[in-house]
A and B are shown apart, each in its own frame.
Chain A
Amino acid sequence: MASSFITFKKKILALQEYSLMLKDLFLSIKSINKCKRDAINEMYLVGSQAFLLVLLGGAFVGIILALETGYQLDLFGAKTLVGRTVSLGMVRELGPTITGLLLAARTGAKNASELGAMQISEQIDALRAFGTNPVLKLVMPRTIAAMVMFLPLTAIADMSGILSGMVVTKLSLHVDTSFFWNSAISALLIKDIFVGFTKPILFAFFIATISCFYGFNTRGGTSALGKNTINAVVVSSLTVLVLDFILTKIVWELL
């Protein structure tokens, strides 16, 4: 009982520390120009280097979605609606979520391990001691890079999912590509695209800040670094799923 109370207390304290880091991050916005170069470097690492991962992830999800829904719709003679299902599924839900989960693992692990190693070797203390704001220097560029790059990456996941879904529908379900395409495009409304591209911005913000927070709070040796990296990936991934649920619920209720 006592130990679970202490664990609960630690979680509350961690939440408080995370909020304080976010406060620092928002207060640093006025100095955002100072981290332009670091943000561009991070964009390359977070964005360009994740291109293939997102392309393949999106493609396979699109294929699976097309096959699973195609076979079920075929039972009712409605397999021409596969395009609609795949495009709505990819743009509204699976594109942002798969991109979020893949990048929570990739970017989350990168941020937490990099900052954790810097914390252990006192490099973050050195930044602070020499008058550099570590949140502006380390968290801001990573957050900007993630928020900027998650949008095109999500678009890539959406497109590769829809296109690979179209190819597999043609080959396995023998649905003409024009049928697929027409149904896919006509199903998409502005609100679907709005929802599909709002989610990655929020996912990116939380993945970047949560993973940086875990990196900043690494104490001890290499085992703590490993543990915190795992925690960063787990918490970021769960946050993506919970946020996805909340946003989907809000959208269905409001829009």
Chain B
Amino acid sequence: MIRLENVSLAFGDKVILDNTSLSIKKGEIAIILGPSGAGKSSILKIMVGLWQPDAGRVLINNKDISKLSELEMLPLRRKMGIVFQGNALFDSLTVKENVAYFLREHGGIKESLVNEKVSEVLSFVNLEGTEKICIDELSGGMKKRVAIARALSFDPDIIFYDEPTTGLDPINSKSILDLIKRASSRGATSVVVTHILNDAIYIGDTLSVINEGAVVETGTVYEMLRSENKFVKDFFYEVFQDAALLQNKIL
């Protein structure tokens, strides 16, 4: 479904991605995991076509998007939903207008169907009755839900999440992660970029650990926990440490 082949990206002297390859299967929740500044969000922006790589190919459904122009990318992007780290909601609009925005923009849909779809996705993210509220009046967790509702509104084939739980309290984080799982069960492929290990383990079908612009290892949670790679071991050390800490507390 999504394949990165030997992708490289640099801004001036700073190498962001270095010959990175990655493959994501249809329908799975793929996690791109790594420390801050590792190049996770850059991979996501390249997959969406917001950035073009300096070298390599980016294949979405076997179509190479790495050299497509902005106008050529537009129809492809209409099959992708993205939840930005800072939500990127239109703050001058209401919840309903935000969720309906792209349905109306892409055109060809009757207003009654737009209303129906907005109600459906708002109900899916447990935000019924918030249609007329302005974005500024929402809490961080609610804004994230609206951003997810907006991404789901036109039933995309792929949904990208950039650090979906950053800045949220544990309860809101858990509900957003559950929402990602439920959204994925509707059939969409989900790509989640995060640095939070527990989130990755909780929702991920496959995990790709990235460091210094390169994918270090890809596999299931089980495979990661048994990895012999030093960086992966160091990164997953937190899990064992937390488990040990919890055990000590209980005892």
Contacts and interface: CB of A to CB of B under 8 A. Distances in A.
A122 B102 contact: no
Contacts of A27: 71
Contact of A131 (B77, B84, B88): B77
Top 10 closest pairs, chain A to chain B, by CB: A131-B78, A126-B88, A122-B88, A131-B77, A129-B82, A130-B102, A122-B84, A131-B74, A123-B88, A129-B48
A97 B73 CA distance: 41
Interface in B64-84: 70-71, 73-78, 80-82, 84
Interface in A99-134: 121-123, 125-126, 128-133
Contact of A128 (B70, B81, B89, B106): B70
B105 interface: yes
Nearest to B91: A121
13 contacts: A24-B70, A24-B71, A34-B107, A123-B89, A123-B90, A125-B50, A126-B89, A128-B70, A128-B77, A130-B77, A131-B77, A131-B102, A133-B74
Contacts of A131: 74-78, 102, 105-106
Interface residues of B, number: 26
B22 to A, nearest CB: 19
B71 A130 contact: no
Interface in B13-44: none
A34 B45 CA distance: 27
Contacts of B73: 128
Interface string A124-160: 0110111111000100000000000000000000000
B84 A126 contact: yes
B167 interface: no
A131 B105 CA distance: 9
Contacts of B89: 123, 126
Contacts of B77: 128-131
B178 to A, nearest CB: 24
Nearest to B77: A131
B187 interface: no
A128 B73 CA distance: 9
Given A24-B70, A121-B91, A132 B102 contact: yes
Given A27-B71, A131-B75, A131-B78, 16 more contacts: A34-B107, A121-B86, A123-B89, A123-B91, A125-B45, A125-B84, A126-B88, A128-B50, A128-B70, A129-B80, A130-B101, A130-B105, A131-B76, A131-B102, A132-B102, A133-B70
Interface in B99-140: 101-102, 105-107
A122 B50 CA distance: 11
Contacts of A24: 70-71
B82 A130 contact: yes
Contacts of A128: 50, 70, 73, 77
A129 B50 contact: yes
Contacts of A137: 105
A72 B85 CA distance: 65
A23 to B, nearest CB: 11
A43 to B, nearest CB: 18
